[in-house]
Structure 1
Amino acid sequence: MDQDDFILMPIKALQRRILGNTDVGTIYISLQSGANSQQIQTEVTELMRQRRRIRAGEEDDFELDDMAQIASTVASTTGTLTAFLGAIAAISLLVGGIGIMNIMLVSVTERTREIGIRLAIGALGREVLLQFLIEAIILSLFGGIIGIVLGLGLAAFVAPVLGVPFVFNLNIVVIAFLFSGIVGVVFGFFPARRAALMDPIDALRYE
């Protein structure tokens, strides 16, 4: 709730000039640091029952909420949503990584003769490995840049609609960019290794 929407005024003036009654809808109680909230809840409940003349065995006609419990519930819900979104992100990364690996495998197959020529004239296997690994990383980073731009653009568009502030966090952007490069390394290694282990003679005969 926006704190700027609150008006603070004496309760007697509010009851007399605006409400026209002596009802109190909500009471906030602040606790000192280290206080036992459970004990205070019990004492407040007993006091409210006395003041409202509730007999033994009758149900309370008021509610007592502990903000610590509410905060714990919100934190638990937020954690569940975070785990859910993390699972979606992991699946997306896996699908994207498999796509990169397939693209690189097709590229290696189409360039088999080129790889054979390079190996035949003295190129080392690690050099071929590094070449295709760099290509996979560049491809992944390019996709990461597109994703970051789309994500920031969508967030900037949706934030005003939802009434929440748009916050640009450079650290998160850098982490996302680096993570996209890691995906390229992980899923691009197998195609690059396949290219590096090719036999030059078999590669030159490939049509």
Structure 2
Amino acid sequence: MLGTSLLLALKEIRRHKTRSFLTTLGIIIGVASVVTMVSLGNGATQSVQDQVSSLGTNMLVVRPSRGFGRGGGARPTLFELDDVEAIQTQIAGIRAVAPQTATQATAIFEAQNWSTTVTGTTNEYFQASNLELDVGREFSDSELIGGKSVCIIG
């Protein structure tokens, strides 16, 4: 019975060559499309995971806020250096605390202007963000303590 069905199927395939070819082609294209989409999805997932892991798996950003009340447009109370020191000393397992502040500014060099973000921070920012300098040096302790006007461009 099975042998008869198989012979009949082969005979029909030979008799309808164009239909058989198009059916086979459709199956091949369908399988290739599914494999391609799965591969692209896996590649995108891996790319996102690599980007997240480059930020550091245990990074936590803390920002002051006004709280959950329905207040007016008052600005949130900013962190003080004492708050930063308290976070670093009173919470176990913290490797680096990098306070920062940022503002928009215009950089002018020769006859060109650039809109940029100026960020004020400490050397711990590099450790917390997994960043390394290509050229130059980090801030010295005396520059940090003295509040010297030193910058890293990049």
Q: Same fold (TM over 0.5)?
A: no
Q: Whose helix proportion is higher, 1 or 2?
A: 1
Q: Which has the higher contact order (CA 8 A, sep 6+)?
A: 1
Q: TM-score, normalised by structure 1?
A: 0.24
Per the normalisation by structure 2, the TM-score is 0.30
